[in-house]
Chains A and B, each alone.
Chain A
Amino acid sequence: DAGVIQSPRHEVTEMGQEVTLRCKPISGHNSLFWYRQTMMRGLELLIYFNNNVPIDDSGMPEDRFSAKMPNASFSTLKIQPSEPRDSAVYFCASSSDFLASSQNHPSTDTQYFGPGTRLTVL
């Protein structure tokens, strides 16, 4: 498997422009996560999906950020309009559910991360 694929790897844009980041999860995984990494705030979870449905978007910083997962093999994170403080590395990760022998409901296993998109907003 090629792993989690993200595009573009680098994006430089000007303040006010729309930015779209893309992610293809590992085939067969049913959970997808978007993270943002900055020096100041470390690694933050923005939103995650399970079976294409957004489960928790409490980490999305503001209305300028939106995420979609139209199908099991594709997700986008959009920033409109972009601002310099959005400059960061954005990671996508995917995982699959597993049923632990000691539990009656599924839980998550390892999250596999993509290489990230380095966004610079001038």
Chain B
Amino acid sequence: AQSVTQLDSQVPVFEEAPVELRCNYSSSVSVYLFWYVQYPNQGLQLLLKYLSGSTLVKGINGFEAEFNKSQTSFHLRKPSVHISDTAEYFCAVSDRFGNEKLTFGTGTRLTIIP
């Protein structure tokens, strides 16, 4: 079984400042990793995913994440945030061996301060 920990439930950031949202996972097998974003009153939308290959993954809206196997982390970063980035961000994990279940973290609410 896998688990995902998002240590920060809320992150306030000034507009145009950089941001990092932390995600750590636990699994006994190799995993796939995902970041989803949920804007107010909407469904979840995929930001980026790591399946294999380069550990630095680039996604939509200028976000990127780095897979660190030794630290079992998959932190999400953006060098300069915008008001429109205000949303809830979810990290998720699934295993590589045919298990289709995604395990989600509890989410991090990103608030951009003008």
At the interface, yes or no: B11 with Cβ under 8 Å from chain A? no
Number of residues of chain A lying within 8 A (CB) of chain B: 28
Residue pairs across A and B with CB atoms within 8 Å: the count is 54
Q: Inside 8 A of A43's CB, which chain B residues have their CB?
A: 44, 90, 104, 107
Task: Let me know if A107 and B46 touch, CB within 8 A.
Answer: no
Q: A43-B107, A100-B51, A108-B94 are in contact. Are A55 and B45 (CB under 8 A)?
A: no
Q: Inside 8 A of A116's CB, which chain B residues have their CB?
A: 42-43
Task: Let me know if B43 and A55 touch, CB within 8 A.
Answer: no
At the interface, yes or no: A54 with Cβ under 8 Å from chain B? no
Task: Let me know if B101 and A56 touch, CB within 8 A.
Answer: yes
Task: Let me know if A115 and B43 touch, CB within 8 A.
Answer: yes
Task: Let me know if B43 and A113 touch, CB within 8 A.
Answer: yes
At the interface, yes or no: B32 with Cβ under 8 Å from chain A? yes
User: How many angstroms from the CA of A113 to the CA of B106 in the assembled complex?
Assistant: 17
At the interface, yes or no: A105 with Cβ under 8 Å from chain B? yes
Task: Let me know if A100 and B52 touch, CB within 8 A.
Answer: yes
At the interface, yes or no: A111 with Cβ under 8 Å from chain B? yes
Q: Inside 8 A of A42's CB, which chain B residues have their CB?
A: 104, 106-107
At the interface, yes or no: A31 with Cβ under 8 Å from chain B? yes
Q: Inside 8 A of A4's CB, which chain B residues have their CB?
A: 43
Q: Inside 8 A of B32's CB, which chain A residues have their CB?
A: 107
Interface residues of B in 42-74 (CB under 8 A from A): 42-46, 49, 51-52
At the interface, yes or no: A34 with Cβ under 8 Å from chain B? no
